[in-house]
Amino acid sequence: MENSYRYIDPDFKYTNKNGVLYNLANIENEDVLAVFESLKVSKRLEELYENPIQIIDSESLIYIHRYLFQDVYEWAGKTRTVNISKDGKPFFEGERFETGFKYVNSLITDFKNIEINDKRKIARTLAEILDNVNFLHPFREGNGRTQREFLRLLALEKGFTLNLNPPDNKEIFERYMNGTINSDVEVLSHLIFEIIN
């Protein structure tokens, strides 16, 4: 899918003038950085698979981002200080993150109170959490990978496995992207209900 993000960053807080993100390895080529980032984050994802953390509240989202991107960006685990839009649709304004995180916390509390055998309600609440976390888009880079891991860990707490980007099934990832881009909780809810087990 085409990357049509727009960042309001006139002071180059995150990138050099060529658009390459400042990174801990001082890589100045976007393609090389993409490979470096992928390798480092994949290793950290494997570690979280082996040693999953418990989701407490929205601070766990911050922790996951810090953990995944700690080898790549100095600002790993820090909320963005620039505003972002995609295809002309703005994400949550950074100045209001506190309100957004409080709402996500209320959804997490609701999720934790759902009975383990109510798979449909679990899927629906996970879809609502995903939609709201995606709208928050709290990080300058790495939102998708962080939110997918966040959801995987929440599902795991109810005894389910959830992979929204399986390597052997592009259709699942495309449906996930369609649901998040269009903020379609129904699409996300149906998808999660189908694939959690």
**Total domain count for the chain?**
1
CB 184 within 8 A of CB 128: no
**Residue 8: strand pairing partners:** 83
Tell me the backbone φ, ψ of residue 31, rounded to 5 degrees: -65, -40
CATH, residue 78:
1.10.3290.10
The pLDDT value given to residue 4: 76
Q: State yes or no: pLDDT of 37 exceeds 90.
A: yes
Q: Going along 30-105, which residue ranges are E strands?
A: 83-86, 89-90
C-alpha closest to that of 58 among 156, 153, 141: 153
Q: State yes or no: pLDDT of 149 exceeds 70.
A: yes
Is residue 1 very low, low, confident or very high in pLDDT (cuts 50, 70, 90)?
very low
State which residues form the domain around 37.
5-195
The reported pTM is 0.95
Strand order of the β-sheet with 89-90 is 5-8, 83-86, 89-90
- How far apart CA 141 and CA 66 sit, in angstroms, is 11
Is residue 72 very low, low, confident or very high in pLDDT (cuts 50, 70, 90)?
very high
- How far apart CA 78 and CA 65 sit, in angstroms, is 8
Q: State yes or no: pLDDT of 13 exceeds 60.
A: yes
The pLDDT value given to residue 3: 56
| CA 160 to centroid of chain Cα atoms | 19
